[in-house]
Amino acid sequence: MLVIVAPGQGAQTPGFLEPWLEDPAFESRLNWLSAVAGFDLANYGTKADADTIRDTAIAQPLLVASSMLAALAVFPHPSDALSKVGAVAGHSVGEIAAAAGTGVLSAEQAMVLVRERGKAMAAASALTATSMTAVLGGDRDEILAKLAEYGLTAANDNGPGQIVAAGTVEELAALAADPPAKARLIPLSVAGAFHTKHMEPAVQTLAKYATAISTHDPRTRLISNRDGQVVHDGQEVLSRLVSQVNSPVRWDLCMETMADLQVTGILELPPAGTLTGIARRALKGVETFALKTPDQLDDARAFAEKHGSPSEIDASPTWRLLVAPMKGTFTREAQVRREPGDTVEAGEVVAQVKSLRDELDVKAPHGGIVVEWLVEEGDPVSPGQPLVRLHPNGTN
């Protein structure tokens, strides 16, 4: 199985888009996204220095645009991707690129959303002196306890040996003076405590914009930063994109889901390298490909061909699929058993998926009429596996 991943803020480097702009199609598309974003992405991706592109309001649109356009370069015909990409995920702001790649948002919607996200997060950061520090190595439980002691948040949990602490400058200074045993602290050059309570003003701003955004259901598995679950309702994806601004990024759980899916290859979109580096440490035996420059495109397509397999999700708009949010065992025992022909109301719980870690309800966000169940009671299911097919009943 092939998983495509999009990096988050901090992955950008000066001039990383320069070789890509030699392609007239890439340049033309970037000019269009620049018009949507309201500033010259080509200039920031080729000529701006590190301090300039560190600015949240610039970095975020630049990252999302580069990932979306590189994905189009790998798969010039998006339908080709549907036959190869088993799942997608994006780290922090990269999740907006992932949402666009699966068809939840259009490219233009994604650019407007990320433009306003960057501005709102920059404004929230200006309210209080906050920052972030990478905590490398050490014992996970001891690190989390130490962060709690000083009022800090584990804003990014990137897997074994890599947690990013976030909070006020004073809280981070206290941590630096009393670090967890056997851990190394690296202050990050960011201007805010992203994915913490300090971003609440940005969440409120984005929530207002989200009410005007129409969505579509993902056309392949979309793995959520919040909890590693596969989300298959477009409005739920949008809601999570808003709330993730002040919620920790659980990339460790995203990788657990990739392992549950038995991923064999992970392709990271540019500016690539960060997420494939994490994957090499956490997902032993999984091949990785960091797409950095356009001269790698032929090799990237060969990598996709080698690992690609279609998602089980049916992209047909005629039907509504309810899918398993995680790996586990399917059951309808505790629910009203809806059979083919029965009506399911919006918000109704129709099944559960149980695992050793959790027990999650499967709800029908839009309702409909049951066409067929695709699994049997007690079946093991994988993340994103279709469970039931609904037909819209005309009232939702």
Calculate the CA dihedral of residues 166, 170, 173, 178 and round it to 10 degrees: -90
pLDDT for 314 equals 61
Taking domain 127-187, whether its CATH number is 3.30.70.250 is answered by yes
Listed residue (30, 96, 93) closest to 56, CA to CA: 93
Question: Quick one: average pLDDT of 351-356?
Answer: 93
Q: What is the pLDDT of residue 396?
A: 44
325 cis-preceded (ω within 30 degrees of 0): no
| Model confidence at 160: pLDDT above 90 | no
In the chain, at which residue ranges do the beta strands (DSSP E only) sit? 2-6, 85-90, 130-137, 153-157, 162-168, 183-187, 221-222, 265-268, 287-290, 320-323, 328-331, 343-344, 348-354, 359-364, 368-373, 380-381, 386-391
CATH 2.40.50.100 segments of the chain: 320-391
CATH 3.30.450.40 for the 320-391 domain, yes or no? no
In the block, tokens 């994490």 appear at: 278
Is the pLDDT at 369 greater than 70? The verdict is yes
Fold of 2-124+197-307: Malonyl-Coenzyme A Acyl Carrier Protein; domain 2 (3.40.366)
Catalogue the active-site residues.
92, 195
Q: Which of 241-245, 355-359, 390-394 has the lowest mean pLDDT?
A: 390-394
pLDDT in tens, 81-126: 878 999 999 999 999 999 999 999 999 999 999 999 999 999 999 9
The boundaries of every CATH 3.40.366.10 domain in the chain are 2-124+197-307
pLDDT band at 10 (very low <50, low <70, confident <90, very high): confident
Q: Is residue 394's pLDDT more than 80?
A: no
Per-residue pLDDT tens over the stretch 26-43:
999 999 999 999 999 999
The answer on pLDDT for 345 being more than 90 is: yes
Rounded CA separation 209/229 (Å): 25
Tokens at 18, concatenated: 């320069």
What separation in angstroms does the CA of 396 have from each of 163, 211, 322, 372?
42, 17, 15, 19
- Give the tens place of pLDDT for each residue, 285-327: 999 999 999 999 999 999 999 999 888 886 555 678 999 999 9
pLDDT value of position 316: 57
| Average predicted confidence (pLDDT) for the chain | 93
Contact 211, 226 (CB under 8 A): no
Count CB-CB contacts under 10 A for residue 162.
Answer: 18
Q: What is the tens place of the pLDDT at every residue in 162-203?
A: 999 999 999 999 999 999 999 999 998 777 999 999 999 999
**pLDDT attached to residue 334:** 77
Say what the pLDDT of residue 180 is.
94
Please state, in angstroms and rounded to a whole number, the distance separating the CA atoms of residues 23 and 21.
Answer: 5
List pLDDT tens digits, range 203-258: 999 999 999 999 999 999 999 999 999 999 999 999 999 999 999 999 999 999 99
- Which ranges in the chain are annotated with CATH 3.30.70.250? 127-187
